[in-house]
Amino acid sequence: MQAKITVLPSETIATINPNLYGHFAEHLGTCINQGVWVGEDSKIPNIAGLRDDIIQAFRKIAPPVIRWPGGCYADDYHWQNGIGPKRDRPKTVNVWWGQTIEDNHFGTHEFLNFCRLIGAQPYLAGNVGSGSVREMRDWVEYCNYDKPCTLAMQRSANGSPMPLGVKYWGVGNEAWGCGGNFCPEDYAAEYKRYATYLRDFGNTPLYLIACGPDGNKADWTRRFFKKLAGADQRFGCRIHGFAAHYYCGTAGTATEYSTDQWYELLHKAVGVEQLIVEQRAIMDEFDPQRKIGLILDEWGTWHPPTPGRNPNHLWQQNTLRDALVAAITLDTFNRNADKLVMANIAQAVNVLQALFLTEEEKLVLTPTYHVFDMYQVHQGGRGVRTEIESPTVSFAVGEEKRTMPTLAGSASIKGSMLTITFTNVHARIPIEAEIKLPAFSARDAELTVLTHADLHAYNLFDEPEVLSPARSIIHIGADTRMTFSPASVTVIRMKL
């Protein structure tokens, strides 16, 4: 099968915001407790109760931002329960995820310390569903105010005399569902009320994020902005970001799927591009200067419950197919860097499309982690246009026949380095491609490939290297022919 790839370094899309490579951690199953947090007295090596192996592995992929405490959990979370001496923190019921008991030992300070240790900016999701304007307003003051008010002095007594400097604040989560079952107009009214009181305490300007739709729902977005803007089409409150959610779901199960189901899920992942393009176009009707950023603060696969695991904890294995979902999605973000400002994969540890799986003292890096590692070089780069002429592959969804391109990707330039990333979704056939780099002289390039002969391959605690990237050096020129392995993710890096 033949393909043609033309990279156009002079045709810039936009700077790829590092926040497109963001993460999400919720109090759900063992994402926080036993995942990120083990406590200071744990036999598992830790830094102030935070797993050391998670910290080191996270640092390696340069995480730009991480969202917490939810998710649905955010709209029943009261931040005061998670501060002060741990012995005094109340035990509360997690009403959304199996009614497990939360000891609240992992709270604001622990999360901010985790962010500091891994090098990420914190993104706090506030409680609109069961909380109050006063509660969220006080959380902002507690975190950010730099003068000796009561809340700032309480923060100091709890170990942080200096302001915590939290910039990103979500005004609720999934307002259309677990965040209050609002209609767009009612949520817009609530958003305006909250935004009125969420002030820039101290020296950290807030970036306030409103809840967008569940998937690519134009009606929610248009009705929300129409209500928010009012008859004079001028926003009477601060809004900096608007966050949709997009789960491509599943086809088959996490580890058992046919070849057609392999393609079906990857085709669903491709659908995120339509959301980005169409949601941004609707926002442009109200915000033509793009002062409000489009965000995708939950995305990823969502497979059926894993047998033998608590179905409320959303633990799932992570295979080569999930890795291609991640690569397809990140390439889509890169190609649309002019339309999207932040995205957060769901979730970091032990939940949904996790980067890490833990079991007591054991840690395994998933195929999705390796894709984030391979693609991190795009962060902060200048996205450039890439033309790909690719053969298609056909597959069945029930009795319906569908097709999708076999090869897709993106490119960016950072400093003197050009990075090109590709996926070949074909389950069996390698793709031979002609790569054209106009006005480019021949030189060596670094090649990194993630693939496996088994479409269902994944890493185990006792076999952690079943799926891991292979690196080599290739020679590439203005016109080069290259073969992309089936079911593969490929990164090419070279000096301009």
Distance in angstroms (rounded) separating the CA atoms of residues 152 and 139: 10
Give the pLDDT confidence of 14-51 residue by residue, as tens digits: 999 999 999 999 999 999 999 999 999 999 999 999 99
The pLDDT assigned to 433 comes to 94
| pLDDT at residue 11 tops 70 | yes
Q: pTM (2 decimals)?
A: 0.96
Confidence of residue 437 (pLDDT cuts 50, 70, 90): confident
Distance in angstroms (rounded) separating the CA atoms of residues 209 and 109: 22
Mean pLDDT of all residues in 53-61: 98
Which phi and psi (to 5°) does residue 281 adopt? -65, -40
Confidence of residue 440 (pLDDT cuts 50, 70, 90): confident
The pLDDT assigned to 1 comes to 73
- In percent, the amount of the chain with pLDDT more than 90 equals 93
Residue ranges, CATH 2.60.40.1180, the chain: 2-9+384-495
> Could you say which architecture CATH assigns to the domain 2-9+384-495?
Sandwich (2.60)
Lowest pLDDT segment from 268-282, 321-335, 346-360, 469-483: 469-483
How many other C-beta atoms are found inside a 10 Å radius of the C-beta of residue 257?
20
Give the tokens for residue 425. Answer: 């979704």
- In percent, the amount of the chain with pLDDT more than 70 equals 99
Give the pLDDT confidence of 183-223 residue by residue, as tens digits: 999 999 999 999 999 999 989 999 999 999 999 999 999 99
Distance in angstroms (rounded) separating the CA atoms of residues 295 and 19: 9
Distance in angstroms (rounded) separating the CA atoms of residues 482 and 59: 33
The pLDDT assigned to 234 comes to 66
Give the pLDDT confidence of 64-92 residue by residue, as tens digits: 999 999 999 999 999 999 999 999 999 99
- Supply the angle between the helices 184-197 and 218-229 in degrees, to the nearest 10: 50
Nearest Cα to Cα of residue 163 among 212, 112, 87: 112
Q: Which residues are known catalytic residues?
A: 174, 298
Give the pLDDT confidence of 258-311 residue by residue, as tens digits: 999 999 999 999 999 999 999 999 999 999 999 999 999 999 999 999 999 999
Nearest Cα to Cα of residue 297 among 363, 380, 240: 240
Give the pLDDT confidence of 386-399 residue by residue, as tens digits: 999 999 999 999 99
Confidence of residue 334 (pLDDT cuts 50, 70, 90): very high
| pLDDT at residue 478 tops 90 | no
The pLDDT assigned to 301 comes to 98
Confidence of residue 322 (pLDDT cuts 50, 70, 90): very high
Give the pLDDT confidence of 236-247 residue by residue, as tens digits: 789 999 999 999
Residue ranges, CATH 3.20.20.80, the chain: 17-379
Distance in angstroms (rounded) separating the CA atoms of residues 7 and 48: 47
Give the pLDDT confidence of 374-426 residue by residue, as tens digits: 999 999 999 999 999 999 999 999 999 999 999 999 999 999 999 999 999 99
Mean pLDDT of all residues in 452-457: 97
Lowest pLDDT segment from 303-307, 322-326, 479-483: 479-483
> Could you say which architecture CATH assigns to the domain 17-379?
Alpha-Beta Barrel (3.20)
Give the pLDDT confidence of 142-192 residue by residue, as tens digits: 999 999 999 999 999 999 999 999 999 999 999 999 999 999 999 999 999
The pLDDT assigned to 443 comes to 81
Mean pLDDT of all residues in 437-466: 91
Cis-peptide, bond into residue 249, ω within 30° of zero: no
The pLDDT assigned to 166 comes to 98
Do 349 and 272 contact (CB within 8 A), yes or no?
no
Do 355 and 349 contact (CB within 8 A), yes or no?
yes
Mean pLDDT of the chain: 96
Distance in angstroms (rounded) separating the CA atoms of residues 103 and 32: 12
The pLDDT assigned to 237 comes to 82
The pLDDT assigned to 233 comes to 59
